[in-house]
Chains A and B, each alone.
Chain A
Amino acid sequence: MPHLRTGRSGCTVLRTLGGDLHGAGGRWWIAGLVAAAALVWPAARASELGLAWNPAPGAAGYRVLYGTAPTRLDRQIEVRGATRVVLRNLAECTTWYASVTAYNAAGESAPSPVVSSWPRPAVHALRPRQVTQGDQLGLTVVGTNFAPATRIEVDSAGLYLDVVAQTCGQLDVELTAEPTAAGRRPAQVGTFELRVRSPEGLMAAGPFEIAVDPSRFDVNRSVPSTVGRLDGDDAVWIARRFSGRDGDGVYDPDLDFDGDGWIDGQELAWIGSNFGQCWSGSAWTHSACPPVPGASP
């Protein structure tokens, strides 16, 4: 039995000539971007929203009714040969309501249950776009259609994001990129998609970079003379825990520089590429090294 896919659960049956059309727990989908519209009408940027539904047997076409109130679906668009449509030129930061009917030569079905959503969110800018392990700072996400209860996600273990304030066009986020203390699993480094997810599950994304904190390479600080130096002791410490994986008893998060949950060749490579150098306060350099006792000037 065909049914209408909506963003809300429900199962109102719509009588049609070819069968029944149900509202069911489906989904909204989104296509396209608002960028072009934003350029043309910067004061009232138009957004989009995708709608999909299951086919009704015998339907010759569908009529999508939509508007800004459930009782005032004053716009409509006809769809033939497809069961999805992109509703365009929608006012931003506004709840839009939609319903679908099926029709053929014999008539038109009753409308499906009304579904509602803000238009798809969009991310225009992240400030900052890059953070470093150990950072605790405010992240600003600039965009549009950030509905109430919008969430923000990044697939990096050790990165924590908490939305503390939001408007339609901005999310203020408290960001913590571990490790902020010894023994904590570090944020995984790399470029990730920062995703903004609306309550309806609509997503927008922007690239977001997490950088390694190179001061962490100095793992052996057991003796004052080795603090601030990357030398053989640091390499041995990494080597002993080589192949350790998070949770196996060998893994030490303080030695997992890239935060991928492994102590592996990447950690050795970072030691190796800075080997013999000293910490200047911002980077590993040869020039920061004090003379080694016994070395010729």
Chain B
Amino acid sequence: MDAFGLPTGAWGISMKVSAQTYIVLAVLAILVVPSGGCGGSSEMSGGLEASFTAEEPAPGPSSVSLGQAGSSGDRVEVRVQVTDVSGLFGAAFYLTFDPAMATFDGHEPGEILESDGHTPFYLVEEGQPGVIVVSATRLGPVPAVDVTGSRTLMSLRFRVIDVGASGAVFQAGALYGSQLQPEPMPGVSWFGGQIVGR
């Protein structure tokens, strides 16, 4: 595998192209890479270092909060944690951030909804720049999950693109129990944080 995760054998064909072709490709690369915006290398971001600062580092019971799960270069993974909630079947929320400071880079499953070997359902969409729409839920006639302590519902990955801080703010968040007609759980606190680029 090469640095791009491609099988090295895939490049074997390019070994046969002419020197002129290499020159053309090199010129194209110079023209295209700066405007591509999706290369994702730390060199392109000018050595930015990403991190996340939680709004509530020690969330109390019946809460949903964000916390840093890890970072590497200009990328940071933010954990969505649920703390001390009984009978959780699913969650729905929007998360807003400043698209001039960071870009959304994907998501990872968590551990709560996977309880009992269940395969949950995640929908994550950046519908508008700076607005992530999320659904994370169990599926069908399976029991809800009791969450004791702080556990990970899912993780969201960001890449900082500028120096500064962007608020990561929950909007319209709801945790749902397992009623057939799900009702939002009352009294849940939602804590966001700051995506930081240095």
Residues of A within 8 A of B (CB): 222, 225-226, 231-237, 239-244, 250, 252, 268, 271-272, 275-277, 286, 289, 291-296
Write out, one digit per residue, whether chain B residues 134-146 have a CB within 8 A of any chain A CB (1) or not (0).
1111111100000
Whether A289 and B178, one on each chain, are in contact in the complex, defined by CB atoms closer than 8 angstroms, is no
Contacts of A291 in B (CB 8 A): 128
* 10 interchain residue pairs of minimum CB distance: A232-B92, A276-B127, A232-B135, A235-B135, A276-B133, A236-B90, A242-B140, A276-B125, A239-B137, A295-B96
Contacts of A231 in B (CB 8 A): 92, 94, 133, 135, 172
Whether B90 and A289, one on each chain, are in contact in the complex, defined by CB atoms closer than 8 angstroms, is no
- Closest chain A residue to B142 by CB distance? A242
Q: Given A232-B91, A240-B178, A242-B139, verify A296-B130 contact (CB < 8 Å).
A: yes
- Closest chain B residue to A275 by CB distance? B125
Contacts of A242 in B (CB 8 A): 121, 139-140
| B110 close to A (CB within 8 Å) | no
In the bound complex, how far is the Cα of B125 from the Cα of A17, in angstroms?
A: 82
Q: Interface SS of chain A: helix, strand, loop or mixed?
A: loop
Whether A225 and B172, one on each chain, are in contact in the complex, defined by CB atoms closer than 8 angstroms, is yes
Smallest distance from the beta carbon of B52 to chain A beta carbons, Å? 18
| B180 close to A (CB within 8 Å) | yes
Whether B133 and A239, one on each chain, are in contact in the complex, defined by CB atoms closer than 8 angstroms, is no
16 intermolecular pairs with C-beta atoms under 8 Å apart: A222-B183, A226-B172, A232-B92, A232-B174, A233-B92, A234-B135, A236-B91, A236-B174, A237-B182, A239-B121, A239-B135, A240-B89, A275-B125, A292-B94, A295-B96, A296-B100
Smallest distance from the beta carbon of A236 to chain B beta carbons, Å? 4
| B55 close to A (CB within 8 Å) | no
| B123 close to A (CB within 8 Å) | yes
In the bound complex, how far is the Cα of B140 from the Cα of A225, in angstroms?
A: 26
Contacts of B89 in A (CB 8 A): 236, 239-240
In the bound complex, how far is the Cα of B133 from the Cα of A150, in angstroms?
A: 52
| B158 close to A (CB within 8 Å) | no
Contacts of B172 in A (CB 8 A): 225-226, 231, 292
In the bound complex, how far is the Cα of B196 from the Cα of A49, in angstroms?
A: 81
Whether A271 and B123, one on each chain, are in contact in the complex, defined by CB atoms closer than 8 angstroms, is yes
Whether B178 and A275, one on each chain, are in contact in the complex, defined by CB atoms closer than 8 angstroms, is no
In the bound complex, how far is the Cα of B99 from the Cα of A244, in angstroms?
A: 40
Q: Given A239-B90, A275-B133, A286-B128, verify A268-B121 contact (CB < 8 Å).
A: yes
Smallest distance from the beta carbon of B179 to chain A beta carbons, Å? 7
In the bound complex, how far is the Cα of B182 from the Cα of A226, in angstroms?
A: 14
Whether B137 and A286, one on each chain, are in contact in the complex, defined by CB atoms closer than 8 angstroms, is no
Whether A277 and B180, one on each chain, are in contact in the complex, defined by CB atoms closer than 8 angstroms, is no
Contacts of B128 in A (CB 8 A): 276, 286, 289, 291-292, 295
Contacts of A289 in B (CB 8 A): 127-128
Smallest distance from the beta carbon of A269 to chain B beta carbons, Å? 10
| B98 close to A (CB within 8 Å) | yes
